Structures are given as structure tokens and as C-alpha cells.
């Protein structure tokens, strides 16, 4: 990435701009703007509004982005949300009416400043990507355009809580994260009342994971903040970014199709596209300035005529959970859905001894219950029980009841970097799954869009789910996940009114897999892998369910394009922040098998080390550990334990907080407990224990 230190406009910075809200609470903002903006040459404002602490949390990325954009003629305003960082007030949940009203009030405040032209844009990634869409939904008059990165349009269907009605492990994980993140105080250098404010924050600190898990249907709680409720309310121009290695890859296509947004999806994890991996990264900031120039300054630069949907089409490559670069090419669609995409159907069939070799049993295991029996093929890797073909085959009946530890290499819901957080080789999970293989390809197969899977099945349990993974199987047997889809079978007919399955009753169900852009190369084959478990990505059903699949069809979005159709600018950014490393960090990610207890665990450890900000002297660091453990034969053995520690200091002043959280389950309840402890110096100043048992209605 190229560092740019000189810009068309000289800059000034306001370290702590206090923004008053109607109820008397003041939010803290850091502002970069041209030095002449307040001297008769006002500029548009660009707002980023999130809870992640501008003083230490997002500061490294803020200093790469906001001075760069400000130097091209904008006032970039980075605001800490109510109850976080250096802002006053208390936070009660994510995306609350108060949070969104505060955003509208901030926009009105910015538009009225003498250094602002009255035009405001809003941008953000993840939480900020969500709330800029949600704020646009409310239509504040001064908001003229939005740039949303790694976000969602549907808080129930496509966020960290539920997916396809399945309860995600990340629902608990993110609750543990926010318990820790929001436990830190304001910087005493900016807030003389920091201690009183901190103790009030700690006292009011919500433990949100049980609240989220309790809403097991798409009710009014999830409808709030879901802009898909009424796309017509998004009146301002929207530019949406996503990444194929992120959990939010569906939003871009939804916004392009439903609100006429412009969309760009790259190979990236959950990061801004100028710094994200896997590469290639792009000149996100140049693209953003082109967007702001068109809609905030009214410059006729043709941004409105750019392709509707630009996507990086990944090419077949060996599986790598920490890939720094992915091969591929950019495609550009003038409209979406694209006329260059045609849906082609492949039928599921059971092998009758013709196209595939005869089955052989999997290696014995003391936990092996009823499950799909893997098969050998001429390449020597474990494979399938069925096939994907253009013609509908004979009637069949295949059982699927997978072990509880399947999914250990699924990767994170939103990976952040190169610490093996992306999906790894799927061959091990394929061997435990019910799989259907296509023929070996003689020519490239390009896929762009979302595949739809239709299944005819029955379940022996009222509560069950099915996971479908679409994989690229190489000649050496390695397997790369292209896309996956999840369906809680209680949600087969309605997300708003789920209903348990009737055991033994055959039903037709359908699920959409995630959006994708992928080229399978000759010599590879397409695989559909089905499982009834996906730990720790999905919390297990209370009883190991056995599905009987008796038919199905996979509808694939086949793309008719050619090669490179867009060449993005190379990434650029402002100079990095000035800091000193006090203690180096470390990371670990491993799978552990306890041979005595018969359990398998995914262990994640991240220690950021400790750093000193050389501009204002604040020292900060954090440490976390996660353990996701399960007995392959017992869904009720699932246990998640997370520990987070936060550290802040300057001179003789120091604080630290530690949060501990654990989730288990019984046949009838999801059991979640947490503990939050805070120290000032060496003295404990706060401690609280939380315990919630959430009834299992549909999970």
C-alpha cells in the first residue's frame, strides 16, 4: 500500500469536538478538515459513527483513512457512540432507536457548522456499515449519500446472531466481545469525570448474548434496523462493499438489486478494502472520494454510470485458512441481476455403482453413530454417497446424521486477518458428510450469484438443521468451500412463525447459499456436502437429528463472462499512526483432542501486546482466549468459554477489566453466564456476575 503524506488541501485536526444532543448528553468526535474550511471555504462532512473507541480502538485505521479523505476537501468526523470511548451516556443494545436518533442529531449538528456546506455523507464498516444504512432509512435531511462496508440489510437472516434460523456460535461470542469492549472508561486526558462515568457504565453494562438468543423467530426486535423491511425508504445513493471471506457477502447484491446501489465485492475478510486480506487490495479511498465528489460536491465525474456490480471472481486454488492473496479476475455487471447469469439445475442422485466406486465404511470410532458413510474414489480421497447430474436419477433414500465436531475448519463468521480464521481444507468434514459430487470438469465453470438448494427430506427429531456446503474439489482431494447455506428446519416455511418438524414426515425445503463469484478450473469437480452439525459455527440441536434425504436439486448461477473487466486503483493511505511497542503480541489457533474425555476443542488465543500512542501518551492492550469444546457423540456437551482482558494506562494511572463468559445448554434451555471485573490500579472497583437460562423454542 502506498503511503501519501501530501494532499491537495492542508489539514487541521480537532482532537475532541463535543457534540451536544437534545437530552444533554455530549458525544466526542475527532475531526480532520482542510485548514481553510472554517475561513470561508466550507466543505462537506463525512461521518463515521461507531462504539469502538477513536482514542485507542480504531485509531490505527482512522489515521490511514480520514486524513486522506479530508485532504481532498472534506471534514471527516469520527464519533464515539453514546456510552463508549470518550462520549457521555450509556449504551443498552446495538442499533437502538436512541443510537439511530443520535446519528440523525449528529448529522444535523454537522450540517449547521460554519465549516460545513450542509451536505453530509455517512460511512462505516460492520457496526458503522449497519447504522449508516439504518440512518439513511430514517431520511435525515442533510444526509446525501452513504458508503457501507461489510454490513447487512436483514438483522435476523444475515447477521452474527442467526443464519437461516440457526443460532450462530458468534451470537455468544459477540456478546462476550461487547461485554469487554464497552467496559473501558473514557480517557482522563479528555474527561475529568472519567471515573464517575466509568462506574456508571460498568453498573449499566448489558450482557446481550441471552437477549439476542431469546428472539428465535424474526420478530419486531429483528425487524427494527433491518432496511429490507422497506427498501423504498433508502432514497440517497448507496455504495456497498463486501468480501467473499467475510460473513456479510450477501448485502451488496441485495442493495444493488433493491435500491439501485453500486456494489463492489472483493476476496477480502472483514476489513476495509485498502488494507484487507486476502489480496488483491484496492484503492478504496480513491473510490470513496470519487463517490463523495459526485454526491456531496455535485461534481459530474460519472460515478452514477459505473457498473452496478463489480466482483472479484476467485479461481481454484489450494485451501489456505491464512491466504494472503487469492488468484482471480474482476467482472463488471451493468445491471443486477445480470443477463449473463443463467440458472442451471443439477439433480441429486444416489450412486448405483456406475459413476462412482462402491462404498467403503469409514474408520471405526467409538463415537461414530449413524452418519453418512464416506466412499473412496480413483484419486484415493474420501468422497461421496451420491452425485450431481443434469438428469434426474432413480429414487433414493440416504441418511445424514453427522458427528457433533464437524465444522472445526469452517472458519470465523467474520475473519479479520491472517491468523487462520478463513475456511481451511474441507476434505475432513466432507468425509463425515453426506456428499454429492459432480463430474470432473473439462472446461472452466464460472459461478456468480447465489445457488439455491431444494431438498426432499424427513427428520426423526422436531428440532434440526441442515448445512449445505458447496465445495471445489481438486484432483488431489483437497476441498475448498465456495459458499455455504444454513437452514433451521423449523424455519422451512416461515422465519416469523417457525414450526417444529413432524418426525418422519417427508417435506420439500429450500435454502439459498451465500452469494459467490468463483471459477472452478478444469480437472476439478463440484461437491455438495450436507451435514446436520457445524460446530462451533452453529450451536447444536438438543438431540442429534437424523435426516433422510430422498431427492433434491441444486440450482447454480452460471456466469457467461470472460476475463478481466475492471482494473481498480492501487491502494493508498495516509501515514500510519505514531506509536511504540511496549510488549509484542502473539496468536494461536489449534484443534485439541482429549483422548481420555473423548472431546474435541477449537482453541483461539489472541494477545495484542501493549503499545504506547506517541501523540497523546495513552498505553493500551488486550488479550483474549476462546475455547469451543464438544463430544462428537453428545450435542449437550457443547461448551464455549471466552475470557477477555483490557488494559489502559498513562503514567501513574492504570485500569484494567476482565470479562469471563460461558455458554452451555440442556435439552430445554441455553445457559449463559458471565462475570465482569474492573481494577483501578491494583484495587477491584467493580465486580458483577450474570446468569441467564433462555428457553429453547426453535433451536
Q: Kindly state whether residue 502 falls inside one of the protein's structural domains.
A: yes
Q: Identify whether 230 is part of a domain.
A: yes
Last residue of a domain, one of 559, 589, 615: 559
The C-alpha atoms of residue 610 and residue 623 are separated, in whole angstroms, by 10
Q: What is the pLDDT of residue 611?
A: 98
Q: How many CA atoms lie within 13 A of 383 on its CB side?
A: 32
CATH number for the domain that contains residue 113: 3.40.50.1820
Q: Is position 207 within any domain? A: no
| Cell numbers 456494489: residue | 263
Residues 132 and 10 reside in one and the same domain: yes
472 lies in the same domain as 598? no
Residue 411, in any domain of the structure: yes
Same domain, 537 and 664: no
Residues 555 and 582 in one domain: no
- Interatomic CA distance for residues 503 and 510, integer angstroms: 18
Residue 551 shares a structural domain with residue 619: no
Average pLDDT, the chain: 94
* 109, containing H or E segment: helix 97-111
Provide the grid cell at 619.
Answer: 498505553
Distance CA 638, CA 536 (A): 9
The interaxial angle of helices 97-111 and 127-138, nearest 10 deg, is: 70
The three three-digit cell numbers of residue 208, written as one number: 446481550
Final residue belonging to a domain, choices 274, 297, 331:
331
**Which string of b and e fits 364-374 if b means at least 16 CB within 10 Å?**
eeeeeeebbbb
Tell me which DSSP letter residue 325 carries. Answer: B
DSSP-assigned beta bridge partners for residue 574:
none
Residue with cell 492473496: 325
Structural domain boundaries enclosing 596: 578-695
Rounded to the nearest 10°, the torsion over CA 32, 34, 36, 39 is -40
Are 326 and 350 found together in one domain?
A: no
User: Would you tell me how many other CB atoms lie within 10 Å of the CB of residue 49?
Assistant: 25
**Cα 96 from Cα 138, distance rounded (Å):** 13
Q: Residue 19: in which H helix or E strand, if any?
A: strand 11-20
Ranges of the chain whose pLDDT falls below 50: 353-383
The radius of gyration computed from the CA coordinates of the chain, to the nearest angstrom, equals 25
CA separation for the pair 402, 369 (Å, rounded): 8
Q: Which of 280, 301, 331 is the last residue of a domain?
A: 331
Task: Pull the grid cell for residue 623.
Answer: 488479550
| 8 Å CB contact between 383 and 374 | yes
Q: What is the CATH number of the domain that holds 505?
A: 2.60.120.260
Which of 402, 381, 399, 390 lies closest to 348 in space, CA to CA?
A: 390
Q: Give pLDDT, residue 384.
A: 59
What is the per-residue pLDDT for 382?
37
Q: How many domains does the chain have?
A: 3
* 170 lies in some domain: no
Q: Is 407 contained in some domain?
A: yes
DSSP 8-class letter at 490: G
| Tens digit of each residue's pLDDT (9 = 90 or more) over 428-455 | 999 999 999 999 999 999 999 999 999 9
pLDDT digits (tens, 9 = 90+) for 329-354: 999 999 999 999 999 999 999 975 43
Q: Strand runs (DSSP E) across 316-390, as ranges?
A: 328-333, 341-350, 386-389
Same domain, 683 and 614: yes
Which one-letter DSSP state was computed for residue 303? Answer: G
**Nearest residue to 229 via CA among 148, 163, 158, 154:** 154
pTM: 0.94
Clarify whether residues 243 and 371 are in a common domain. no
The grid coordinates listed for 226 are: 433491518
Q: CB 463: neighbour CB atoms within 10 A?
A: 20
In a domain, 571, yes or no: no
Tell whether 192 is covered by a domain: no
Same domain? For 323 and 346 the reply is: no
Backbone φ and ψ for 179, nearest 5 degrees, come out as -60, -35
Return d(Cα 570, Cα 80) in angstroms, integer: 30
348 and 466 assigned to the same domain: yes
Q: What is the pLDDT of residue 383?
A: 43
Name the region of 559 (left: φ>0; alpha: ψ -120 to 50; beta: rest).
beta
Residues 307 and 425 in one domain: no
Same domain, 95 and 146: yes
Amino acid at each position: 500500500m502506498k503511503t501519501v503524506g501530501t494532499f491537495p488541501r492542508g489539514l487541521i485536526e480537532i482532537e475532541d469536538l463535543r457534540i451536544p444532543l437534545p437530552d444533554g448528553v455530549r458525544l466526542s468526535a475527532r475531526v480532520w478538515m482542510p485548514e481553510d474550511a472554517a475561513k470561508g471555504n466550507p466543505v462537506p462532512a463525512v461521518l463515521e459513527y461507531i462504539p469502538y473507541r477513536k482514542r485507542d480502538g480504531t485509531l490505527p485505521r482512522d489515521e490511514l483513512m480520514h486524513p486522506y479523505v479530508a485532504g481532498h476537501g472534506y471534514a471527516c468526523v469520527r464519533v464515539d457512540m453514546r456510552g463508549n470511548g470518550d462520549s457521555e451516556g450509556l449504551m443498552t443494545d446495538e442499533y437502538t432507536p436512541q443510537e439511530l436518533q443520535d446519528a440523525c442529531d449528529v448529522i444535523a449538528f454537522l450540517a449547521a457548522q460554519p465549516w460545513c456546506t450542509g451536505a453530509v455523507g455517512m460511512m462505516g464498516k460492520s457496526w458503522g456499515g449497519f447504522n449508516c444504512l439504518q440512518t439513511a432509512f430514517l431520511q435525515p435531511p442533510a444526509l446525501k449519500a452513504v458508503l457501507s462496508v461489510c454490513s447487512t440489510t436483514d438483522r435476523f437472516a444475515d447477521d452474527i446472531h442467526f443464519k437461516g434460523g440457526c443460532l450462530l456460535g458468534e451470537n455468544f461470542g459477540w456478546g462476550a466481545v461487547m461485554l469487554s469492549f464497552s467496559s473501558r472508561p473514557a480517557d482522563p486526558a479528555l474527561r475529568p469525570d472519567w471515573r464517575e462515568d466509568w462506574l456508571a457504565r460498568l453498573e449499566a453494562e448489558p450482557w446481550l448474548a441471552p437477549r439476542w438468543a431469546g428472539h428465535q423467530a424474526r420478530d419486531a426486535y429483528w425487524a427494527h434496523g433491518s432496511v429490507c423491511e422497506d427498501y423504498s425508504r433508502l432514497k440517497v445513493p448507496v455504495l456497498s462493499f463486501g468480501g467473499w471471506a467475510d460473513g456479510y457477502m450477501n448485502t451488496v447484491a441485495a442493495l444493488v438489486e433493491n435500491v439501485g446501489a453500486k456494489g463492489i465485492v472483493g476476496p477480502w475478510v472483514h476489513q476495509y478494502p485498502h488494507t484487507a486480506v486476502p489480496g488483491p487490495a484496492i484503492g478504496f479511498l480513491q473510490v470513496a472520494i470519487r463517490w463523495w465528489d459526485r454526491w456531496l460536491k455535485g461534481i459530474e465525474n460519472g460515478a452514477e454510470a459505473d457498473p452496478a456490480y463489480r466482483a472479484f471472481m476467485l479461481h481454484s486454488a489450494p485451501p489456505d485458512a491464512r491466504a494472503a492473496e487469492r488468484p482471480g479476475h474482476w467482472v463488471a455487471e451493468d445491471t443486477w441481476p445480470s443477463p449473463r447469469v443463467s440458472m442451471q439445475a443439477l439433480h441429486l442422485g444416489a450412486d448405483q455403482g456406475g459413476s462412482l466406486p462402491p462404498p467403503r465404511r469409514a474408520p471405526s470410532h467409538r463415537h461414530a453413530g449413524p452418519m453418512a458413510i464416506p466412499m473412496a474414489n480413483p484419486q484415493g480421497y474420501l468422497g461421496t454417497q451420491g452425485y450431481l447430474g443434469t438428469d434426474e436419477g432413480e429414487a433414493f433414500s440416504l441418511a445424514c446424521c453427522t458427528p457433533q465436531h464437524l465444522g472445526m475448519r469452517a472458519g470465523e463468521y467474520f475473519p479479520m486477518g491472517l491468523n487462520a480464521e478463513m475456511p481451511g481444507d474441507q476434505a475432513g468434514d466432507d468425509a463425515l458428510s453426506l456428499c454429492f459430487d459432480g463430474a470432473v470438469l473439462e472446461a472452466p465453470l464460472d459461478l456468480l450469484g447465489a445457488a439455491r438448494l431444494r431438498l426432499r427430506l424427513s427428520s426423526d427429531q422436531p428440532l434440526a438443521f441442515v448445512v449445505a456446503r458447496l465445495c471445489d474439489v481438486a484432483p488431489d482431494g483437497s476441498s475448498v468451500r465456495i459458499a455455504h447455506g444454513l437452514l433451521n428446519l423449523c424455519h422451512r416455511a416461515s422465519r416469523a412463525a417457525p414450526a417444529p418438524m413432524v418426525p418422519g414426515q417427508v417435506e420439500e425445503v429450500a435454502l439459498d447459499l451465500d452469494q459467490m463469484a468463483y471459477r472452478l478450473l478444469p480437472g476439478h469437480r463440484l461437491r455438495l456436502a450436507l451435514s446436520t452439525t457445524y460446530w462451533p459455527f452453529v450451536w447444536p440441536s438438543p438431540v442429534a437429528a437424523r435426516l433422510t434425504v430422498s431427492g433434491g436439486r441444486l440450482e447454480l448461477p452460471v456466469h457467461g463472462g470472460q476475463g478481466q473487466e475492471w482494473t481498480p486503483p492501487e491502494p493508498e493511505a495516509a501515514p500510519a499512526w505514531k506509536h511504540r511497542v511496549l510488549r509484542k503480541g502473539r496468536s494461536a489457533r489449534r484443534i485439541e483432542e482429549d483422548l481420555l474425555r473423548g472431546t474435541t476443542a477449537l482453541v483461539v488465543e489472541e494477545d495484542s501486546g501493549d503499545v504506547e500512542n506517541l501523540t497523546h501518551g495513552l498505553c493500551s492492550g488486550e488479550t483474549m482466549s476462546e475455547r469451543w469444546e464438544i463430544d462428537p457423540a453428545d450435542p449437550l456437551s457443547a461448551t464455549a468459554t471466552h475470557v477477555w482482558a483490557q488494559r489502559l494506562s498513562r503514567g501513574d494511572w492504570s485500569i484494567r477489566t476482565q470479562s469471563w463468559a460461558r455458554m452451555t445448554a440442556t435439552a430445554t434451555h441455553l445457559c449463559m453466564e458471565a462475570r465482569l471485573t474492573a481494577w483501578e490500579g491494583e484495587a477491584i472497583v467493580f465486580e458483577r456476575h450474570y446468569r441467564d437460562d433462555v428457553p429453547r423454542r426453535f433451536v
